[in-house]
Chains A and B, each alone.
Chain A
Amino acid sequence: AQSVTQLDSQVPVFEEAPVELRCNYSSSVSVYLFWYVQYPNQGLQLLLKYLSGSTLVKGINGFEAEFNKSQTSFHLRKPSVHISDTAEYFCAVSGRSGGSYIPTFGRGTSLIVHP
């Protein structure tokens, strides 16, 4: 079985401040990792993904995430947030081989950027 834990349900931050949204996973097999974003009144869209190669992954809108196998984490970071980054962020994991190919999603973290 695989699972995803997003430790923070809500993260308030001021504009231009840095932010980190935490994601930890558990799986008995190696995994693929994804971050999706859902802007207010919009559908989910991919922010970034880790499939293989460099453990530091860059995505859209200045976000990046680092895959840490030893800590089973895939935290999302941005050095300076904008008001427009206010959204719900979901971490997801799927099995690389064996395990469950059905992506498991975390419960989401609501990023609230204040002016």
Chain B
Amino acid sequence: GAGVSQSPSNKVTEKGKDVELRCDPISGHTALYWYRQSLGQGLEFLIYFQGNSAPDKSGLPSDRFSAERTGGSVSTLTIQRTQQEDSAVYLCASSKILGSSGSPDTQYFGPGTRLTVL
């Protein structure tokens, strides 16, 4: 079956420009996550969507970052006025939720979008 897809796979932009990154989760997965992966830094949580609940934005590094999820499916991460320190691989993951616990089951990751800010 189809996995998590992300587009574009690579994005090169100039400092100060806005970028939009797209994530298509696995159908039926109510939870969706955005992470940022920098070399040697592991995964940095950015934002979490679960069903119709308000998103958890606690990981967004600044107000230049925002994300939305339309119809409980596709999500877009927007970075405004990009800076060189925004260069990283942006990963999206989706999952089901374990019973009534609220905790996620296995996360399925997309291939990522490599963002380079010149």
Partner-B contacts on A (CB < 8 A): 9, 32, 34, 36, 42-46, 49, 51, 90, 92, 94-97, 101-108
Contact status B42-A43, CB under 8 Å: no
Contact status B109-A102, CB under 8 Å: no
Q: A96-B101, A102-B33, A102-B56 are in contact. Are A49 and B106 (CB under 8 A)?
A: yes
Contact status A102-B42, CB under 8 Å: no
Question: Which residues of chain A are within 8 angstroms of B110 by Cβ–Cβ distance?
Answer: 43
Contact status B43-A45, CB under 8 Å: no
Q: Which of B77-118 contact A (CB under 8 A)?
A: 91, 93, 98, 101-107, 109-112
Q: A97-B102, A102-B33, A103-B104 are in contact. Are A44 and B42 (CB under 8 A)?
A: no
| B65 lies within 8 A of chain A by Cβ | no
Contact status A44-B91, CB under 8 Å: yes
Q: List 22 A–B pairs whose Cβ atoms lie within 8 Å, in order of A's numbering.
A: A34-B106, A36-B107, A42-B111, A43-B109, A44-B91, A44-B93, A44-B109, A46-B106, A49-B106, A90-B42, A92-B107, A94-B103, A95-B103, A97-B103, A101-B102, A101-B104, A103-B104, A103-B107, A105-B43, A106-B42, A107-B40, A107-B41
Contact status B91-A32, CB under 8 Å: no
Question: Which residues of chain B are within 8 angstroms of A42 by Cβ–Cβ distance?
Answer: 111
Alpha-carbon gap, A46 to B91, bound state (A): 15
CB closest residue in chain A, given B92: A43
